[in-house]
Amino acid sequence: MTTTDTAIDTVLTAENITKSFGGVHALKGASITMRRGEVTALIGDNGAGKSTLVRCLSGIHKPDSGTITLDGAVVQIDSPLAAKHHGIETVQQNLALVEDLTVWQNFFVGREITKGVGPFQMLDRKAMRDKASTLLSGLAVNVPPVTSRVRRLSGGQRQAVAIARAAGWGSSIVIMDEPTAALGVQETARVEAVIRRLQDSGVAVLLISHNFDQVLRLAQHVWVMRGGLAVAQRRTSETTGDELVALITGAQAV
Ligand SMILES: Nc1ncnc2c1ncn2[C@@H]1O[C@H](COP(=O)(O)OP(=O)(O)OP(=O)(O)O)[C@@H](O)[C@H]1O
């Protein structure tokens, strides 16, 4: 790949991001890049700053300093809504699904499709059901009908629904914080298949994971965070779990 290709493929650059909470310097000038159609993993020990960096990208925290560039333009991501407007969707660890609503209703909370005009305006339930089904089948998400209530779904199905919902709004970047931490082997494999589909559709995925095998299986690039900095980047095809552990702990020089 040429330098120009790399520049074109770069969808997000975060440069020198700092963020402190009182006297705690959670981010001390962290920089990462992400490319479209790739899974980029973010790894590091507890407290390294991964969640804080991700929260800066998803508009939950405002960085104290630093620059975020999307498709070559510097952007301010000062709220979760601003992040969505910029095409950045985040699958929260708690998934933020409403248990008592159906799968399709969860897709459209706050973004309902309506039909008719003025006083005759009403929810277009069929359009929403159909769109939710299309999105799920596009990602080959194996769930019961979209009319099922979320509380009846397994952990893996919920995770897949949350990912499909995040992917469903034309987002160019989907951020996931430990998407399979609570899942068994089979469900993890299903969710990983959904992530691969998302990547194949051209989305840039940012994956926080403590599972090195998963990082090496799913991601093309991995950034290692330590002490509030992204201290190393590796292509996953050119590294090993042992090297990643050494980079995380600082046993290996960068
Ligand atoms: N809202 C907050 N208020 C105060 N300190 C915070 C806050 N959020 C994070 N921190 C501190 O910032 C540092 C980085 O935390 P962060 O959660 O970003 O790390 P992490 O790499 O995601 O860790 P983990 O893998 O445990 O989630 C830690 O020292 C943490 O205690």
Comparing C-alpha atoms, which of 207, 129, 162 is closest to residue 154? 162
The per-residue pLDDT for 7 is 54
Question: Is a pLDDT exceeding 50 seen at residue 2?
Answer: no
Rg of the chain over all Cα atoms, to the nearest angstrom? 19
ipTM: 0.96
Compute, in angstroms, the gap from residue 52 CA to the centroid of ligand 1: 6
The top-scoring range by mean pLDDT among 117-131, 190-204, 205-219 is: 205-219
**Mean pLDDT score across all residues of the chain:** 87
Band the pLDDT of 3: cuts 50, 70, 90: very low
Instruction: Give CA–CA dist 142/158, Å, rounded.
Output: 11
**Residue 224 Cβ < 6 Å to ligand 1:** no
The per-residue pLDDT for 4 is 45
Question: Is a pLDDT exceeding 60 seen at residue 193?
Answer: yes
Instruction: Give CA–CA dist 210/254, Å, rounded.
Output: 19
More confident residue, 141 or 180: 180
Lowest mean pLDDT among 115-119, 173-177, 201-205, 207-211: 115-119
Strand partners, 235: 221
- Atom number in ligand 1 closest to CA 61: 1
Residue nearest to atom 2 of ligand 1 (CA): 21
Comparing C-alpha atoms, which of 163, 179, 182, 181 is closest to residue 171? 163
Residue nearest to atom 3 of ligand 1 (CA): 21
Residue 75 falls in which region: left (phi positive, over 0), alpha (psi -120 to 50) or beta: beta
Question: Is a pLDDT exceeding 80 seen at residue 142?
Answer: no
User: Which pLDDT tens digit goes with each residue over 205-225?
Assistant: 999 999 999 999 999 999 999
Q: Which helix (H) or strand (E) holds 103?
A: helix 103-107
Which residues lie below 8 Å from residue 134, measured CB to CB, with a gap of 6+?
none
The per-residue pLDDT for 120 is 72
More confident residue, 110 or 25: 25
Band the pLDDT of 6: cuts 50, 70, 90: low
The top-scoring range by mean pLDDT among 2-16, 37-51, 183-197 is: 37-51
Going through the chain in order, the beta strands assigned E by DSSP cover: 10-21, 24-35, 39-44, 65-70, 73-75, 88-91, 114-115, 122-123, 173-177, 204-208, 221-226, 229-235
Question: Is a pLDDT exceeding 50 seen at residue 197?
Answer: yes
Instruction: Give CA–CA dist 62/52, Å, rounded.
Output: 10
User: Which pLDDT tens digit goes with each residue over 62-116?
Assistant: 999 999 999 999 999 999 889 989 999 988 776 678 888 888 888 887 777 767 7
**Residue 20 Cβ < 6 Å to ligand 1:** no
For a mutational test of ligand 1's pocket, the pick from 18, 28, 43, 51, i.e. the residue with the most ligand atoms closer than 8 A to its C-beta, is 51
Compute, in angstroms, the gap from residue 117 CA to the centroid of ligand 1: 48
Instruction: Give CA–CA dist 145/30, Å, rounded.
Output: 43
CA 241 to chain CA mean position, Å: 22
**Residue 209 Cβ < 6 Å to ligand 1:** no
**Residue 24 Cβ < 6 Å to ligand 1:** yes
Q: For residue 183, give Cα distances in angstroms to 50, 99, 180, 191, 243.
A: 21, 18, 5, 9, 26
Compute, in angstroms, the gap from residue 26 CA to the centroid of ligand 1: 6
b/e burial code for range 137-169 (CB count within 10 A of at least 16 → b): eebebebeebeeebeebebbbbbbbbbbbbbbe
